[in-house]
Amino acid sequence: MNIDIQRDGTALTAIPEGRIDTLTAPEFQKHMEAELGDVNDLIIDFCKVSYVSSAGLRALLALAQTMEDRDGTIKGVNVSDFLRKAFDLTGFLEILNVD
């Protein structure tokens, strides 16, 4: 999985590409956790994500918990209608503070 990382001070924007599913979720989570360092604000840009499975949701939940533990924020942007519906049904609109 390709993940473009952009930093601005203590804010990090991650732009994953493709699917976050059973095969890619562990790699996504591990890569993201390694990038967090001193990050206070994590933005995940879903503009290039086509699908998120339950494994992907677990990875996102783990990242949300990590950010909460450090009193940081997590936000989802550029969420497609398809993903927005899945996030709504699972309660992730609130967890990821989706615009």
Convert the pLDDT of each residue in 22-76 to its tens digit: 999 999 999 999 999 999 999 999 999 999 999 999 999 999 999 999 999 999 9
Residue type, 85: K
CATH of residue 8? 3.30.750.24
Alpha helices (H) along the chain: 25-36, 54-69, 81-90, 92-95
Facing residues of 81 across strands? Answer: none
Per-residue pLDDT reduced to its tens digit, 80-95: 999 999 999 999 998 9
Residue 39 sits in which domain range?
3-95
CA distance 69 to 78: 25
Q: Report the domain count for the chain.
A: 1
Please give the angle made by the CA atoms of 48, 8 and 79, to the nearest 5 degrees.
25
pTM over 0.85: yes
How far are the Cα atoms of 6, 37, 89 from residue 11, in angstroms, in the given order?
A: 8, 10, 28
Provide the pLDDT for residue 99.
Answer: 79
